Structure 1
Amino acid sequence: MEKEMIHTYCLQLRGTTYDYQEEWQADRYHIGGKMYAMIGGNATGRPVLTLKCEPARAADLRESYDSIIPGYYMNKTHWNSIYMDAEDVTMEMVENLIKHSYELVFSKLTKKVQQAIQ
């Protein structure tokens, strides 16, 4: 999976804002001021994409894919990290997981913020 493809996909989702967190060296994507995706690196610098995920689905994904781990530096119940050099995860799957993360975060926003985005 390529960073530029992920960046382009995230920015096409309605209301997405982007920033770069210098101290984390991470690209972050938000909806309504809440983060739903982050591209950064683990302790060794290996690139990871971190996404919010419904807890049961998150656990299933971790069991099914070696390249999906509990969210790096995030709440391990609600976030997964995917190694970006993974060969067992397709770009189509990554897009589906990004969309899932976006929708989870969007659903938790206030109705007023949701309406402003739509």
Structure 2
Amino acid sequence: MEKEMIHAHCLQLQGTIYDYKEEWQADRYHIGGKMYAMIGGNATGKPVLTLKCEPARAEELRESFVSIIPGYYMNKTHWNSIYMDAEDVPMDLVEKLIQHSYELVFSKLTKKAQQEIQLLEVTK
């Protein structure tokens, strides 16, 4: 799983804002001011992609893939981390999980914020 591919995939999602948090040494992706994806490292510096996930699905993924763990330094119920060097997690699944995370966060935004994001794309 390549960081550049993940970065490009996240930036194509409507209304995504990217920033880099120096203190965490983490690339972060937001929608409506709320984070939905982060590329950073664990305690040993091993690169991980952290994504929001519906709790039952998060548990199921952790049981199915060795490289998917409870969200590193995040709420373990709602976030999963995927080791970037994972060979057992196909890239198409990673893309689906990014989309799932994005949609979860987007759905929790106010209707006004959702409409503003949707209008941004129409005016481009």
* TM superposition score normalised by structure 2: 0.95
Question: In percent, how many aligned pairs have the same letter?
Answer: 86
Question: Helix, strand or coil for the counterpart of 1:50?
Answer: strand
Q: Distance in 2 between matches of 1:89 and 1:73?
A: 21
Q: Distance in 1 between matches of 2:91 and 2:27?
A: 18
Provide the residue aligned with 1:106 in structure 2. 106
Provide the residue aligned with 2:94 in structure 1. 94
Provide the residue aligned with 2:55 in structure 1. 55
Q: Distance in 2 between matches of 1:90 and 1:56?
A: 20
Provide the residue aligned with 1:33 in structure 2. 33
* Count of residues in correspondence between the two structures: 118
Q: Distance in 2 between matches of 1:73 and 1:57?
A: 19
Higher gyration radius (CA): 2
How far does residue 112 in structure 1 lie from its aligned partner after superposition?
0.1
Map Cα deviations across residues 22-67 of structure 1 (whole Å, 9 max, x no partner). Answer: 0000000000000000000000010000000000000000000000
Q: Distance in 1 between matches of 2:41 and 2:86?
A: 14
How far does residue 80 in structure 1 lie from its aligned partner after superposition?
0.1
Question: Helix, strand or coil for the counterpart of 1:95?
Answer: helix
- The CA RMSD over aligned residues, in Å, is 0.3
Runs of at least 4 residues off by over 6 Å? none
Q: Distance in 2 between matches of 1:90 and 1:115?
A: 33
Paired amino acid for 1:57: R
* TM superposition score normalised by structure 1: 1.00
Structure 2: gaps spanning 5 or more residues? 119-124
